[in-house]
Every structure is written in C-alpha cells, then in structure tokens.
Structure 1
Amino acid sequence: MSLAITIELGDADLQHFIGAMQRAQNEAKHLTPQQVTEAASKLLVDGHKVKLPHFIAERLSKLDSMIAMANDEGFALPEEDRQHVLACLTYFANPQDIIPDNVPVLGFLDDAIMIELCVRELQHEIEAYEDFVHYRKEEAAAHGVDPATLKTQRHEWAEARRVELIERMRKRRGQSYQSSGGWKPVLFTFRG
C-alpha cells in the first residue's frame, strides 16, 4: 500500500525555509567553494545509503546536477552565476538542517524541499547546463571518446548551438514556404 500526500507551502512556510537558507549561508561564509560542494555531495552519498521515497530521490538527482554545474570547468560558469549556485548549495553544507537526516523516511524531506526551491531559483542555469552536458555527450560520441575526457569549452558549445539554431530556422522557414515555391523576401529587402 502506498500513500500519496500533497504538500502546499504558503508564504509563511517558505519564509521558514528562506530563513534556514540565510542562516546556512551565514554559517558557511568561512567555507571554500570546494568545501560547499563536497558537503552537498556528502548528502548525496548519505541519501544512497538509505531507501528514500521517490519524491526525495528525484530531488537528490537535481542536487547532483547543481553540484556538477558548479564544478564543471568545461562549462565555465561565470563567477557571478557560480556564486548563485554555491549560495543555494550552502544549505546542504550545514549539518543542522530543519529535519535531521537520520530521521527515517522524513529526514531528507527538508532537503528535497530546499532542492526544489533552489531548482526554481536556478531554472535557467540548470537548463543551460543540461543543454551543454547533452551537447558534450553528443560530441564525445561523435569523436569516440569518454565525455569526461572531452574538454569542450562553453564558447565551442555556444557556436555549435548557434549553427544548430540557424539550421533549424532555415529548415522551418523552408518547410513553411514550400507550397509557394520557396522563401523569398517580399516586404523587406536589403541592397548593400
């Protein structure tokens, strides 16, 4: 038998989590970025040692992506953006979280909620990183190498992505004008 529970957090509830994040950030001021990501990684290791509800396990995988993004030299996240990611990860560097992790079933619930809040805060960064990782895997497969050894830099990814988007634009434009004999500019032309 399973039990489905829906949790709706109101503004006051969210303020509790925001306060916990601010306390964690204050306590983590002395930590290096490496110490923050290592502490967050420890949460992943601890999570794999116990049977977690699906909701929590799913969120922990998102935490793994945030940690990887902060550490990925190939992605070369600009420092200001990296600081945003590290700020989110500081909650997981604090052993005194809202619900102690050793509480059966619920110990990681606060972590899962905080991960979800961080994912919403970092949505665009995470999407860009996932695109980059996908591109790097494709490039590694095309070159027959392990993605971990491929030193794809972000500028190479951006150029490849730009070319891909222009090709997609032309393909879509060609498909939409196929019935009229092809695309020709009608209203706007430029003669240089």
Structure 2
Amino acid sequence: MSLEINLELTDADLAHFRHLMDAAIAKSEQLSNEEIISRAKALVEKMESAPLPEFVQSRLMSLSALINAVQDEEWQMPEDEKKEIMTSLAYFSEPEDIVPDHVPVIGYLDDAIMIELVLQNLSLDLKAYREFCGFRATEEARRGEAANVNRENWLAGTRAQIRSSMRRNRSGAKRPSFFSRIM
C-alpha cells in the first residue's frame, strides 16, 4: 500500500526557499567550483546510500545529471550556463538543512523540494545534456572503431545543434523562474 501526498508551496514558502538559496550562494562564494561539486556529490552519495522514498530518488538522478553536465568535457558547457548550474548546486554544498537528513522518510524532503525548484529552472539545460549523452552513446555504438576518426567534428556539430534548440526553447519560455531574483 502506498500513500500519495501532494504539497503546494505558496509564494511565502517559495520566498523562504529563495532566502535559503540566497544564503547558500553567499556562503558558497568563498568556495571554488571544485569544492561546490565535491560537496554536492557527497550529498548525492549520502542520499544514494539512504533508504529514500521514490519522490526523492527520482529527483536525485536529475541532480546527478546536472553535476555530470558541468564536469563532462565533451559537452563543453559555455561559462554562462556553467555559472547558472554552479549557483544552483551551491545549495547542495551546504551541510545544514531545514529537515535533518537522518529523519526517516522526510529527512530529504527539503532537498527534494529544492532539487525540484532547481530542475524547473534548468530543465532545458538538463534535457539538452541528456539528448547529447543519448546521441553520443548511440553514435559511438553505431560507429564502433571508426568513431575516433572524426569524433570531435560530430560532437561539435551535435553540441551546436542541441544548444541552438535549447536557446530557442528558452527564449520562448515566458514563465518566470524560481531563481529570477537570484541569478
């Protein structure tokens, strides 16, 4: 038997999460990108070893994908996009939570909410990166040994095409972002 619980965050609730993100960003300005990534990865590893509800697990996979996107040298993320993701990861580099992580079932609820808010803001970036990874895996399997010959050329073409599509989609989005006041 399972139980479904829906949460509705009010403007005041979102303001509280914005405040938490602002505070995390301010603290993280003293950290390097490597430290932010390392701390975000540590949270992911800690969460992976915990018995998590499905709603947290599904969001955790997306947080891992954002971390991978920033570190993937073949994706060659532009600095403005990288900065936006690093700013978002700043929250996850902070060890203090609203709900302590050791509390069974709900300990990672605040992390899951913040991941969801981050993903709403970065959904196009994440979609583009996943599309790139899918193309890369498919193309490498199709080409086999010959893949190394012009690999950088087909990766560059794919990156350019996917980023162009992402930017068109982003410019067409009219919904204000959770982070509109932060970034």
TM-score by length of 1: 0.76
1:155 aligns with 2:156: yes
Query: Residue 168 of structure 2 aligns with which residue?
Result: none
Higher relative contact order (CA 8 A, sep 6+): 2
Q: Secondary structure at the match of 1:95?
A: coil
Shift of 1:158: 4.0
Runs (5+) with no aligned partner, structure 1: 162-192
Please give the residue correspondences for 1:8-157 in structure 2 after superposition, counting only pairs within 5 Å: 8-144=8-144, 152=152, 154-157=155-158
Classify the secondary structure of the residue corresponding to 2:69: helix
Q: CA deviation at 1:89?
A: 0.4
The RMSD of aligned alpha carbons is 2.2
Contact 2:52 2:105 in 1 (8 A): yes
**CA apart distance, 1:58:** 0.4
> Over residues 72-118 of structure 1, what are the superposed CA-to-partner deviations in whole Å (9 max), with x where a residue is unaligned?
11111100110000000010000012212111111111111101100
Count of residue correspondences: 159
Query: Could you say if the C-alpha distance between residues 151 and 111 of structure 1 is closer, same or farther in structure 2, counting changes exceeding 3 Å?
Result: farther
Hey, what's the Cα distance between the residues in 1 that align with 2:151 and 2:28? 31
Q: d(CA) in 2 for partners of 1:10 and 1:116?
A: 15
CA distance, structure 1, for counterparts of residue 29 and residue 82 of structure 2: 15
Q: Which structure has the bigger radius of gyration?
A: 1
CA contact (8 A) 1:69 1:77 kept: yes
Query: What is the identity, as a one-letter code, of the residue corresponding to 2:5?
Result: I
In the alignment, is the contact (CA less than 8 A) between 1:74 and 1:151 conserved in 2? Answer: no
Structure 1 residues 119-151: Cα deviation after superposition (integer angstroms, max 9, x where no partner)? 111121111111111111111211337x9xx96
Unaligned segments of structure 2, at least 5 residues: 163-183
